[in-house]
Amino acid sequence: MPIQPVLLWSDFFIWLLVAAGVGAAWWSARQPLLAAAWGRVGHNRVGVAAATLLAAFALVGLLDSLHYRPQLPAKAGASPGEKINYSVEVLSLLDGLLTPLRTRVEKTYSEPLATRAYAKEMMEVRQEDGSLRTLRDYPRLRFGGAALGADEVRAPADIAGRALRALLAGVVGWLALCALVSGRLARKVGVPRREGWRRVWHGETTFAWNALLAALGVIVALLAVLVGLGGEYHVFGTDKVGQDVLYQVLKSVRTALVIGLVTTLVTLPLAVFLGIVAGYFRGWIDDLIQYLYTTLNSIPGVLLIAAAVLMMQVAIDTHPQWFATAAERADLRLLALCFILGLTSWTGLARLLRGEALKLRELEYVQAAQAFGVSDLRILSRHLLPNLMHIVIIALVMDFSGLVLAEAVLSYVGIGVDPTMISFGTMINNARMELGREPAVWWSLTAAFVFMFVLVLAANLLADAVRDAFDPRMA
């Protein structure tokens, strides 16, 4: 076997989430009411477009969550029966796909689409007469525009040509996809293809196919351009050690998703359960929970997290035997960070929910349930929880973006993810120095910002659509 699969803990959680998601989808498809609500999400154009974008991000994240160790090339002259050695470097499927991006490392900074480095260097150039001349210039990049050779003047035309060709291919592919979709829809309803096409683009379908196709169009166009140029140029430039920024950004997506989702998984049960219980039962239970979160809240958040992270770091450093590879260590550190963030950030949502539960418990439908002698747990789950869900969803999405940002802040302080792990936080942290130099290096920060912005915006829009669709009063 040429590879050895590796299951990191965060991979396990991610695939668990995926399995839960698939299970929930299968289950809700069989519940007519839930299916109808999801149908309303599907009818919401903004929601579908956001979901399509998120799906693209999720795809990147999932590809990055299948890890393996490649086999090392056998030593020359080794017998076939000899033990196979695997690399200590853990790669993911995404790494495999992005091998050109990953391996073509320049010396240091270079601008997007540049053919030369960003800073002048002393170079020794052999003159025609054979003498060496020292000259100070921007050195030629090893990989950026390598195909051009010495003919650098042609770079803009080359870039435009490649981009156009790729774009054309992308558009053709996209149009084919549109035709396929509208054709299938037309066949399903039994109308001519032209009519099916018209219906899709006039938004007369139940599912917002036009939004899906439009979002896909944007993604396909961007992807085509990236693929067309990425092989030859550094589309987003390179960073200090010459690594391609596009590669870094794509790797950051998984880190952001893990931080956002796994932390939420930790926060949610705590916040929802403690918040509702405090608001509904009041009395000493309320006092206890309030005491707990007031105490947690009164310790500065960063300090608390720093203390926990440092303790964890000590534990990790003193037990190197726990980890077979550096990736496993970095991964565990990421997960621990998620748990620590989760355990310290449930208080805000819990307090919000407690206040709302205090209000809801006085409502007449709760009293009617009490008059029937319905058990408290049942009242909590049937009467309070569903009526609090909108707050939970809003808070979750807000938290998702907040957590991605918190990771950046913590990485900045030096207590975030492992330094070897690429994340938006580490990118932003590095950008601090880069913006300070002259001339400023702007592309790392910009790339991280654009990707983070799109990710968080898409999550927000989808959450809005979901909340509206599940609110019976809006239906």
Partner 1 sequence: MVEPARNALEPTSLLEVRNLSLGFAGGGRVLTAVSGLSFSVAAGETYALLGESGCGKSASALALMRLLPAAGRILGGEVRLEGRDLLGLAEAEMRSVRGGGMAMIFQEPATSLNPVLTVGRQIGEVLAQHTDLAGEAARAKAEKLLAAVGIADPARRLCEYPFQLSGGMKQRVMISIALAGNPRLLVADEPTTALDVTIQAQILDLLQDLQAEREMGMLLITHDLGVVARMAHRVGVMYAGELVEEAPAAGFFDAPRHPYTQALFAALPDLSRRGMRLQTIAGQVPTLAAMPAGCRFAPRCPHAWERCRSESPDWSAAGEGHRVRCHLYGEGLEATAKRLVAEGTERSRNASVAGEDAPAPGSASPPSHPPLLRIADLQVHFPIRRGVFQRTVGHVRAVDGVSLTLTAGKTLALVGESGCGKTTVGKAVLQLLRPTGGSVLLDGREIAGLSRSAMRPLRRRMQMVFQDPFASLNPRLRVGEIIAEGLRALLAGERRDTAAVVAALLAQVGLDAGAVDRYPHEFSGGQRQRIAIARALAVQPELLICDEPTSALDVSVQAQILNLLGELQASLGLAYLFITHNFAVVEHLAHEVAVMYLGRIVERGTVEEVLRQPQHPYTKALLSAVPAPRPAAAGEAGGSIIRLPGETPSPAKPPAGCHFHPRCAFATAECRERYPDERALSATRVVRCHLYR
Residues that bind partner 1 (CB under 8 A): 33, 363-365, 367-375, 378, 382-383, 386-387, 472-473, 475
**Which CB atom, from 289 or from 404, has the smaller least distance to partner 1?**
289
3-state secondary structure 343-395: HHCCHHHHHHHHHHHHHHCCCHHHHHHHHCCCCHHHHHHHHHHHHHHHHHHHH
**Which CB atom, from 370 or from 420, has the smaller least distance to partner 1?**
370
Least CB distance from residue 323 to partner 1, whole Å? 47
Residue that has been written with the tokens 């599940």 in this structure: 470
Least CB distance from residue 360 to partner 1, whole Å? 10
Residue that has been written with the tokens 């149009």 in this structure: 175
Least CB distance from residue 320 to partner 1, whole Å? 52
**Which CB atom, from 33 or from 189, has the smaller least distance to partner 1?**
33
**Which CB atom, from 387 or from 460, has the smaller least distance to partner 1?**
387
Query: 116 - beta bridge partners?
Result: 140
Six-digit token string for 56? 């693209």
**Which CB atom, from 119 or from 374, has the smaller least distance to partner 1?**
374
Identify which of 255, 249, 252 has the alpha carbon closest to the alpha carbon of residue 112.
Answer: 249
Identify which of 269, 280, 260 has the alpha carbon closest to the alpha carbon of residue 383.
Answer: 280
**Which CB atom, from 45 or from 102, has the smaller least distance to partner 1?**
45
Measured between alpha carbons, how far is 338 from 5 in angstroms, rounded to an integer? 24
**Which CB atom, from 9 or from 38, has the smaller least distance to partner 1?**
38
Least CB distance from residue 359 to partner 1, whole Å? 11
Pair 327, 90: CB distance under 8 Å: yes
Six-digit token string for 347? 């208080």
Task: Tell me the residue length of the chain.
Answer: 475
**Which CB atom, from 164 or from 368, has the smaller least distance to partner 1?**
368
Neighbours of 391 (CB within 10 A): 17
Measured between alpha carbons, how far is 213 from 201 in angstroms, rounded to an integer? 9
Least CB distance from residue 40 to partner 1, whole Å? 13
**Which CB atom, from 363 or from 450, has the smaller least distance to partner 1?**
363
Identify which of 281, 293, 332, 264 has the alpha carbon closest to the alpha carbon of residue 90.
Answer: 332
**Which CB atom, from 45 or from 193, has the smaller least distance to partner 1?**
45
Least CB distance from residue 242 to partner 1, whole Å? 54
Phi, psi of 137 (to 5 degrees): -155, 175
